[in-house]
Amino acid sequence: MEEGEEETCARIEREVRDCLGDPNAAQLGNDPTLLRQKSYVDELEMEVDEEEEQADEKKKLMKEKLWKLMCTYLPCDVLSLQKSIVQHVEYTLARRRYKKDKGSFYQATAVSVRDRLIERWTDTQQYLSSKDTKRVYYLSLEYLLGRNLQNAMSCLALRNRYAAALEELGYKLEELTEEERDPGLGSGGLGRLASCFLDSLATLNYAAWGYGIRYKYGMFEQRLIGRAQAEFPDFWLKEGYPWEVERPDVQYLVKMYGQLEEDGKDPVTGRPRVNWVGGEDVIAEGFDIPVPGFHTWNTNNLRLWTSKASCEFNLGSFNDGQYYAAIGEKERSEPLTSVLYPCDNNAPGKELRLRQQYFYVSATLQDILRRYKKRPEHSLLDLPRKVAIQLNETHPAIAIPEFMRLLLDEECLGWKEAWHITQNTFAYTNHTVMPEALEVWPLPLMEQLLPRHLTIIYEINHHFLGEVRARWPADQGRVARMSIIEESEPKLIKMAHLAIIGCHRVNGVAQVHTGLLCSSLFPDFYEMWPQKFVNITNGVNHRRWMLQANPAMSAVISKWLGTHDWIHDLGLLARLKDLSSNPELQRDWQEAKMYNKRKLADFIKRECGIVVNAAAMFDVHVKRIHEYKRQLMNILGVAYRYLRILSLQQEGNTEALGQMVPRVVIFAGKAAPNYFVAKDVIKLVLAVAGRVNNDARIGDLLKVVFIPNYNVSMAELIIPGTDVSQHISTAGFEASGTSNMKFCMNGSLLLGSRDGANLEIEQSIGKDNMFMFGANTKEVDQLRRTINFRKPQMDGRLRWVLEEILSGRFGATFHDLVNSLQPGNDGYMVGHDFGSYLEANEVVDSIFKNPPAWTTKCIDSCASMSRFSSDRCIREYAEKIWQVVPHQFKPPGKVANVD
């Protein structure tokens, strides 16, 4: 890029930073004379002292003093922000005045921002309590939050002020944001979707909390050693996490193991009274992370649970010399929340996973019931009118019997009342179409770990199968298919069936996915309860993935729309369609894209040691490594391109070589530690990269890059710099996908299979703006029923590549991967779709050589993505499933004099 173009892109970025800064500051209450809610202090005092009505005059004066001290919001002018940061450096972090590094100033800045979030958070919660509004509780085993500093500043409209405050202190905000480490609370799209939902819930002013686990180590840190993936602990809490607030006052006892004893009959319900005795107790302690809405006062909460021993230390055992036994309970309890998705290919691993899931579900439900029962007028029978609980996948499905246990055993309700409350409170989102991915638990494990829950599951199943038999009296096959218990050896508990039976709504996350739920995965349940199944196509938070991740392009959009209002209403992007062929808009768009590509190229050089040409096509495939996502097909296509270049050189065909589009093919993603086929795919990618990148004959015509340890922050850099993005899963296997939406919003074109949300994106942006290929879901289903999972003859180009791999051209021979593509083994249709995949790539090349045509498609695609905002998604959940309405908190007005 020429020097003038660099200045243009820098100017573009400065412009968009303005819209992330102060334009809405006044409405967000940055004036220090803005009052807080006095009712908050009233409620605080009421909780602390229930005898407040009898308080004497001295206590009343103390209360008034407390209110005066808390009555205004923290000031947000530049000088006040500087004082706040420096005070946190000196007093919160206890740094000496002559020892102040970037890490310290990041931590201090984060705590300063958190202070301003907390005062909004406490007032928002009190306001919503005063309204007695219905609340949404979102249960997810994963949350991929990404970095919080820039997001929080943008939501508060304080980015520019903090940047100015730090600059005068000798620090750049952009450098401090790099000090923040991504929280290791998720592994892929499931966690990122949950985080997008929390952001939109707050922005749209819905009363909602997220619940999850505070993993100590996250999944794992991926490194590339010896051209293979190696896993290391991801200790993301090493430097602390300034955004969380520990809640030692929020603790719940979670019981596991033990046995059941009958203790007569309940005098109210007449049911046998069951006591769950013995076993093991674990303490769940809460940690809160405020979740701000964008340019609104409303601030919601994410509560994460960490496990603690109910008895920290046995002094008697210690004094008897049994030093390890003295801390045995502590050592057994704390691993519960150590690692996301412990390997479950062995019995201890399965047990740990189930313990982990039940632990956080039990603590969450106890917390929800405690909060609901705080109001004396709340009857448990009315709970579905005030509480909506969403299960994100089957991981928290044990919540169904746990809620029943709490209502039956702790609240002493009858079965009929408890079941009515449970069914009308819970809803279930399914994210998978692969039967093998649906969670099941061995019945003996459930009996050992959660004996009370097994009896409840039996009774749920008994009542349910009674309904099935009454409707289809002669269909025992249907009864067996729909049962929660699978009669295998050992018997299995099907958690998806439990979730469907125990919830009032079940939703898929894309039109094709929901169709498969109804027709293939759960057809018997759909026939019984068609009204229960709804579709809500996934969406992503465009403020995070466009405005913050891609400020250069966002500035172009705001400039040509003449407004920043698209940040709140993505539908305004549609106005760009009429301008997509405008040469000046195209010039601005191309400059922003080149700016992002150069940033990505610099990152690749710095992190991977590979020099790439930013003028080449950046072809990106980043997501979890899995056979159905078909990274294998991509790297086989790369190998073919490499062999084709060498063949043309040998033929001396300079004309054909001159027509080839230079490509930088970028992979990133983690393979599960015990998923050896996926790890072999990474090995093949690295082997091909090693051969291609070190072959002087290839030059810049082809480069292959694998970026290790893919996370949210890395995605925010990669996605804006992408020209074409691959979403090529086997049709019928991807429930939705959300990265396809992020890439398209950022002006990338999609190379995709006929799967998941790709089909709906194609409907929105038009077939001409997307490169689709391969068999559709129906064809895949038919092919998988045949003996040979592909066309009668292997594509000659694929045969050539496989022969070269087996010959050792790329080092190892990868016999297992090659064998997986032979007739009868190719369950993911790599061989079947390979030819049409290469042909789609040729179309991509031909259009990329025409920059105006390519840019027009990019602008049109971006301008057509409003339906894939998580705002739309959340509004549909609110209407179709939760029946909640927004409540926007606004602080009281100004007063003239505040002491």
* Residues whose CB is less than 8 angstroms from the CB of residue 401 and which lie 6 or more positions away in sequence, other chains included: 450, 453, 456, 457, 460, 498
Tell me, yes or no, if 532 is annotated catalytic: no
The full 3-state SS of 484-537, as one line of letters, equals CEECCCCCEEEHHHHHHHHCCEEEECCHHHHHHHHHHHCHHHHHHCHHHEEECC
CB 410 within 8 A of CB 358: no
At residue 100, what are phi and psi to the nearest 5 degrees? Answer: -130, 110
Single out the catalytic residue among 332, 598, 624, 872.
624
Give the max Cα distance, the chain.
99
CA distances from residue 233 to 216, 241, 332, 337 in whole angstroms, order as listed: 10, 17, 19, 14
* Residues whose CB is less than 8 angstroms from the CB of residue 87 and which lie 6 or more positions away in sequence, other chains included: none
Tell me, yes or no, if 629 is annotated catalytic: yes
Tell me, yes or no, if 890 is annotated catalytic: no
Tell me, yes or no, if 623 is annotated catalytic: yes
- Number of residues that this document lists for the chain: 899
CB 109 within 8 A of CB 140: no
Between strands 485-486 and 492-494, the pairing is antiparallel
Q: What is the DSSP string of 761-823?
A: HHHHH-GGGSEEES--HHHHHHHHTSSSSS-SS--HHHHHHHHHHHTTTTSS--HHHHHTTST
Query: Which sign, positive or negative, has the C-alpha torsion 710, 716, 720, 721?
Result: negative
Instruction: Tell me how far apart the alpha carbons of residues 805 and 683 are, in angstroms, rounded to a whole number.
Output: 12
Single out the catalytic residue among 116, 161, 703, 742.
742
Tokens of 361: 């579900």
Other CB atoms within a 10 A radius of the CB of residue 573 amount to: 21
CB 465 within 8 A of CB 482: yes
Single out the catalytic residue among 623, 626, 641, 703.
623
Q: What is the DSSP string of 251-320?
A: EEEEEES-EEEEEEE-TTT-PEEEEEESSEEEEEEEEEEEEEPTTSS-EEEEEEEEEEESSS--HHHHHT
At residue 71, what are phi and psi to the nearest 5 degrees? Answer: -75, -15
DSSP letter for 548, please. I
- The secondary structure element, H or E, covering residue 153 is helix 149-155
Tokens of 770: 């997307």
Q: What is the DSSP string of 192-252?
A: HHHHHHHHHHHHTT--EEEEEE--SS-S-EEEE-SSSEEEE---TTTT--TT-EEEEEEEE
Tell me, yes or no, if 247 is annotated catalytic: no
Q: Alpha helix (H) ranges present in 377-437?
A: 383-386, 399-405, 415-425
User: Could you tell me the end-to-end alpha-carbon distance of the chain, in angstroms, rounded to an integer?
Assistant: 57
Q: Which of 198, 197, 139, 143 is nearest to 390 (CA)?
A: 139
Other CB atoms within a 10 A radius of the CB of residue 767 amount to: 9
Strand order, beta sheet including 492-494? 440-442, 492-494, 485-486
Instruction: Tell me how far apart the alpha carbons of residues 546 and 870 are, in angstroms, rounded to a whole number.
Output: 13
Single out the catalytic residue among 100, 159, 629, 727.
629
Instruction: Tell me how far apart the alpha carbons of residues 535 and 16 are, in angstroms, rounded to a whole number.
Output: 35
Between strands 229-232 and 485-486, the pairing is unpaired
The full 3-state SS of 330-378, as one line of letters, equals HHHHHHHHCCCCCCCCCHHHHHHHHHHHHHHHHHHHHHHHHHHHCCCCC
Task: List, in sequence order, every residue forming a beta bridge with 429; answer none if it has no partner.
Answer: 392, 507
Tell me, yes or no, if 742 is annotated catalytic: yes
Single out the catalytic residue among 192, 214, 295, 431.
431
Active site residues: 431, 623-624, 629, 738, 742
